[in-house]
Chain A
Amino acid sequence: GIQVEQSPPDLILQEGANSTLRCNFSDSVNNLQWFHQNPWGQLINLFYIPSGTKQNGRLSATTVATERYSLLYISSSQTTDSGVYFCAVELRGSGAGSYQLTFGKGTKLSVIP
């Protein structure tokens, strides 16, 4: 099946710092989503980005599908940004594993005041 690798696994930032999270995937994808999981376990949609670049406030994301990676940028980090960030991809095609999201193991971000 498709492999999804996220890096770094853990990240500690001072409030106000910028960061880049990476997601590598092993096959062509139909769909790629970034989520933020808050301390209560809720998965919050950040970006639906199978290709290209999107921005939402202090967050932006870029997916280069031909090179099989996506980046999530967090600027001017705040303590409320703490949590786990997941990348999830949907395999292209109609074979086994299609139409479902395969998640990476996540990046645990801690923003300290």
Chain B
Amino acid sequence: EAEVAQSPRYKITEKSQAVAFWCDPISGHATLYWYRQILGQGPELLVQFQDESVVDDSQLPKDRFSAERLKGVDSTLKIQPAELGDSAMYLCASSLALSYEQYFGPGTRLTVT
């Protein structure tokens, strides 16, 4: 069964350092999403791509976060510099197209010390 892949699964970094997460969506899925989940809460959307174009990045803290999906397939989310408040689970999801069922990857658990 096709799955969304993410790496790394766990990341510990010191504040002010740069960190990057990678996501490979299910093959053929045009839409890719990055969510952030703080402990005890539901995931919240950071950025959404349709192929290589950003559909919505209104909730992405653009002073320190960036995301790209250059060839419309896999995607990278970067934080520079990391802050203590960035400690969270970062989840990637994909769907066939906008408004279709979303499937999530296993996530990257980030701890900033």
Task: Count residues of chain A with CB under 8 A from any CB of chain B.
Answer: 22
Contact A42:B101 (CB < 8 A) given known A100-B45, A103-B43 = no
Residue interface mask A9-41, B partner, CB < 8 A = 1: 000000000000000000000110101000011
| Interface size range of chain B in the complex | 20 to 34
Interface residues of B (CB under 8 A from A): 31, 33, 37, 40-45, 48, 55-56, 58, 89, 91, 93, 98-104, 106-107, 109
Known: A96-B58, A99-B98, A100-B48. 15 other contacts (CB 8 A): A30-B99, A31-B100, A31-B101, A41-B89, A41-B107, A42-B104, A42-B107, A43-B43, A43-B104, A88-B42, A90-B99, A99-B31, A99-B48, A105-B41, A106-B41
Interface residues of A (CB under 8 A from B): 4, 30-31, 33, 35, 40-43, 45, 48, 86, 88, 90, 96, 99-101, 103-106
